[in-house]
């Protein structure tokens, strides 16, 4: 969000017109309109005049730029190796990040399967899941359908239906799995 959008939001919340705020801030209506649309950057003196006209501290116009935003950085080859149901079947899970707070939880995993297994775990959990195939080839089941997954293929699905790899055609298999669900509900 730009400073101009902040100015517009405060102006509208006060029920004021562009002309009214422009007059109080010693600006032309055209200049205020350009500021609100992000077509020009106001000077500090202009920002002080606008803040005074809107009856807010000038720092309030910058507040959204100072808020901390959720970030999770994982260098290449890093991530936390974790155990999930598929670990017993030889699936390696590396958590590549996580969300902190918010309404939606996001869990990105790099899943590596190095050897064929006769054990195919079936997964079911809340939310949605996105798979992106990187290496190898496998058949992946979702509900009653089977999908042949090759490098570059992706699959997005409702994770409450039974799903999981069913047949490994070319090893090793490596794919990205991103699970999203409501943060108020658990996953898995």
* pLDDT value, residue 66: 58
Binned at pLDDT 50, 70 and 90, residue 65 comes out as: low
pLDDT tens-digit map of 19-45:
999 999 999 999 999 999 988 888 888
CA 1 to mean position of chain CA atoms: 17
The CATH H-level (homologous superfamily) assignment of domain 3-66 is: lambda repressor-like DNA-binding domains (1.10.260.40)
- pLDDT above 90 coverage of the chain, percent: 50
Binned at pLDDT 50, 70 and 90, residue 101 comes out as: low
Taking CA 30 as the corner, what is the angle to CA 28 and CA 36, rounded to the nearest 5 degrees? 105
- pLDDT above 70 coverage of the chain, percent: 88
Neighbours of 163 (CB within 10 A): 22
CATH architecture under which domain 80-182 falls: Sandwich (2.60)
- What does residue 119 show for φ and ψ, rounded to 5 degrees? -95, 120
145-156: average pLDDT: 96
Binned at pLDDT 50, 70 and 90, residue 1 comes out as: low
Would you kindly state where each structural domain of the chain is located, as residue ranges? 3-66, 80-182
pLDDT over 90 at 162, yes or no: yes
């Amino acid at each position: 969000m730009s400073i101009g959008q902040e100015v517009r939001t405060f102006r509208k919340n006060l029920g004021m017109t562009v002309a009214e705020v422009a007059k109080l801030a010693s600006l032309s209506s055209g200049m205020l309109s350009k500021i609100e649309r992000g077509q020009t950057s106001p000077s500090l003196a202009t920002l002080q005049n606008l803040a005074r006209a809107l009856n807010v501290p000038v720092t309030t116009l910058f507040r959204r730029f100072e808020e901390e935003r959720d970030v999770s950085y994982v260098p290449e080859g890093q991530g936390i190796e974790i155990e999930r149901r598929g670990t017993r079947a030889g699936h390696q899970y590396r958590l590549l990040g996580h969300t902190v707070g918010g309404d939606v939880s996001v869990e990105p995993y790099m899943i590596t399967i190095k050897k064929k297994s006769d054990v195919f775990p079936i997964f079911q959990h809340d939310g949605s899941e996105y798979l992106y195939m990187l290496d190898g080839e496998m058949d992946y089941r979702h509900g009653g359908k089977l999908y042949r997954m090759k490098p570059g293929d992706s699959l997005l699905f409702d994770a409450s239906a039974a799903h999981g790899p069913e047949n490994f055609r070319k090893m090793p298999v490596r794919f990205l799995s991103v699970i999203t669900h409501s943060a108020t509900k658990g996953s898995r």
